[in-house]
Amino acid sequence: MKLKPYGHGFGALNIHIVFVTKYRHPVITAEIESRLKSIMAKLCETQKCTLLECKADVGSNDQIHLLVEMAPDIALSKLVNILKTIISREIRKEFRDFLKHYYWKPVFWKRGYGFVSVGGVPLKTLKEYIEHQGYND
């Protein structure tokens, strides 16, 4: 794990985050997953964070796993709010025709989210776990 300098301190804050689609509809196609990665990476940068990994659960297509390196001055709840709000709006706009069969209201994500501090787990191990979502269920 590489430590980064932040102001008068240094450290590493890596968080595994899971977002689930509203009603668990299987709407995360390969094309939507690609756009999710692109949008999330840009949004993370605006919040001084880095998206290290992003992968949908291949088996169910109703959730996405993120590995984010957080800056210590950014609240997780703020980052999640930004990601979910903007991504929902953009994905619903870009994939309107596909999503209208699943959602009649302006929604994409389920209300909550899951998160776990990576702690001492090697990032390589966690990246492999995220990359293989849905394959070994």
Domains of the chain: 10-118 (3.30.70.1290)
DSSP for the chain, written as a single string: ---EEETTEEE-EEEEEEEEBGGG-----HHHHHHHHHHHHHHHHHTT-EEEEEEE-TTTSSEEEEEEEE-TTS-HHHHHHHHHHHHHHHHHHHTHHHHTTT-SSS--B-S--EEEE-TTS-HHHHHHHHHTTTT--
pTM of the model: 0.85
Tens-binned pLDDT, residue by residue, of the chain (137 aa): 677 888 888 888 999 999 999 999 999 999 999 999 999 999 999 999 999 999 998 788 999 999 999 999 999 999 999 999 999 999 999 999 999 999 999 999 999 999 998 876 777 888 888 888 776 55
